[in-house]
Structure 1
Amino acid sequence: MKVSKAGSALAIAAVLALTATACGSDKDSDSGSGDGKGKVVIGIKFDQPGVGLKTPDGKFTGFDVDVAKYVAKELGYKEDQIEFKKAPSAQREQLIKNGDVKFVVASYSINDKRKAEVDFAGPYFLAHQDLLVRADDNSITKPEDLNSKKLCSVTGSTSAQNVKEKLAPKADLAQRGGYSECLTGLENKAIDALTTDNSILAGYAAQAEHKGKFKLVGLKMSDENYGIGLKKGDKELQTKINAALKKMVEDGSWQKAVDANFGPAGYKAEPAPQITEGS
């Protein structure tokens, strides 16, 4: 009997040790509970000044970054528990579906095609598709002027398809991995225009090294409602993020972020849109 009791005690001890170890590993990973433990991985853009930018010193700036930090805080995470992951346009859905990120805040326009693969919270911002051209170029004043012109956008963006399919079917479209590549082509005259959301274009135009080189045409070729992408069916997270976005607008933090990130470019943002996703 003594051996049996000793054996039982050892077995119980082993089980308790394993349980404690398992609990410890849960604390080290993102459980999505927003309880302040572990970390949260958020997808953002790394190459969009004013929206989502990773600076040479490794810091992150931009309106989307401010939104992401605010939402994470409301979910229970401190700033040092946030890990930002690069989320190029063409990879956003896959990053969410693979579980590589908890959610994506990356100038992510809500549309039916994307909603078939992921869910959204928001919208939290309304942008419009526009064109960026060289400051001395007056040949492009409307979408139809892009026919026979060299137009650039990024792979996976809705902007390029919108122009090619609806507005200027004869445009010579080039798709690149990032907006910075399009901007280089625009500067050296290999490209005539760059198209994407006016918020993103304003961010580029406002950079110190680009001031005076480019201008926005001032078109509103589409309405782009930015949403926060998350795994399909995660209603709990969707509800929590929507609540955080509403609070951000109500306490003035949303307007403060708009002014800080877009004000220097003279860009006038639309008022905060009504949240429709998940309602």
Structure 2
Amino acid sequence: MRALPQRFGRLIYVTALAVVIGVLAGLSGGSLYNLVSRQMRANDQLPSVLRGPAVQVVVSDTPGFAAFKDGTFAGFDIELVDFLAADAKVRPVYVPSAPFDKLAMLQSGMAHLGAGVVITEERRRLVDLVGPYLISHDGVMTRADDGRIDAAADLDGKRVCAPMGTTTAADAQSGQVRVEIKSLAACVESLLAGQVEAVAADELSLRSIVKARPKDLKVIGDIEFGSSLRYGIALSPGHAADCRELARALREFILSDRWEESFKAHFGPQADAARFRPDPNQLEHCPSA
């Protein structure tokens, strides 16, 4: 039987030790994972995920970001990852996933990187995050011929659909709004069929949808709710050197013409790019080893 590589032996030891400590201390599953994550971050001893020949990147079928059509993905996230992969001289392999499965796929090793991950404190405890490369917020879309909704207060008592597994779904469930949770595609179908009065989602995704169907749908420009959606690249803990390399390449992408060209191409020329562009000198990145 072949012996396990030394790095796996160390990882098994760390994980086994954490299990023993977790049982003794009565830690929950999340706390146990956090303990292992902190140890992996401290050691930064896992092999680089950017030394190819290929890097697996988990993405979700989301309008404007990584829309899946004709057997391939296209969108802002795809152009970004292609840029990062070219910088690292590796080939990106895109792995489709539901939004709520991205972190689990990184934690299980089914993918190396995750694109389009909204940075939150909770997610920082589970994975390493570098970014943001895009700053958005929750917005509202209605049918183009519906003039009843002009402000956030107009949503009270209305039926609103929000995509499952997103921060928007949690943000929308407040006040007197009646929220249905579905996939974004199903939300759009419900809106067009008159089953709901509005769709609440990332404004940029909504703008991408309206860009394709301007006669049927519209984004209500004056409605924002919830906290800012700060999009980053995620990877499992223990790759601090990779994080620093990604942060450097990410800054170059934001400073280049590629950022605005991609933004306009996928979210429409009507969107004010300056509202969504992050400060390239204020990027978060993974802990140093």
Specify the TM-score bucket, using the shorter chain as the normaliser.
0.7 to 0.9
1:101 to 96, 111, 117: 111
1:255 aligns with 2:260: yes
Q: Is 1:34 matched up with 2:50?
A: yes
Structure 1 gap ranges (5+): 1-14, 16-30
Matches within 5 A, 1:217-232: 217-218=220-221, 219-221=223-225, 222-232=227-237
How many equivalent pairs are there?
Answer: 237
Q: What letter corresponds to residue 284 of structure 2 in structure 1?
A: T
Let me know the Cα RMSD of the aligned residues.
2.0
The aligned counterpart of 1:3 is: none
Equivalence for 1:132:
141
Hey, what's the Cα distance between the residues in 2 that align with 1:251 and 1:131? 30
Q: Secondary structure at the match of 1:131?
A: strand
Paired with 1:223 and 1:87, the residues of 2 have a C-alpha distance of 23
Q: Provide the secondary structure at the position in 2 that maps to 1:101.
A: coil
Q: Is the 8 A contact 2:106 2:235 kept in 1?
A: yes
- Match runs of 1:91-170 below 5 Å: 91-106=101-116, 108-165=117-174, 169-170=175-176
Q: Residue 278 of structure 2 aligns with which residue?
A: 272
Is 1:143–1:163's contact at 8 Å kept on the other side of the alignment? no
Gap regions ≥5 residues in structure 2: 3-46
- Which residue type is aligned with residue 40 of structure 1? V
Decide whether aligned partners of structure 1 residues 229 and 32 sit closer, same or farther in structure 2, where only a CA change above 3 A counts.
same
SS where residue 160 of structure 1 aligns?
A: helix
C-alpha contact (below 8 Å) 2:59/2:102 kept by paired residues:
no
Q: Which runs of 4+ in 1 moved over 6 A?
A: none
Residue 50 of structure 1 is matched in structure 2 by 64
Aligned to 1:10: none
Corresponding position of 2:215: 212
Equivalent residue for 2:15? Answer: none
Q: Does 1:193 align with 2:198?
A: yes
CA distance in structure 1 between the aligned counterparts of 2:193 and 2:140, rounded to whole angstroms: 17
The aligned runs of 1:5-16 (5 Å cut-off) are: none
TM-score (structure 2 length as normaliser)? 0.76
TM-score (structure 1 length as normaliser): 0.79
Note the C-alpha offset of 1:33.
4.8
Task: Check conservation: 1:32, 1:102, Cα contact below 8 A.
Answer: no
Residue 65 (str. 1) matches residue 60 (str. 2): no
Q: Deviations over 1:121-162 (max 9, x none)?
A: 110001121101111112222223222211111211111211
Q: Percent identity?
A: 22
CA contact (8 A) 2:138 2:203 kept: yes
Secondary structure at the aligned position of 2:50 is classed as: coil
Structure 1 or 2, whichever has the larger Rg, is 1
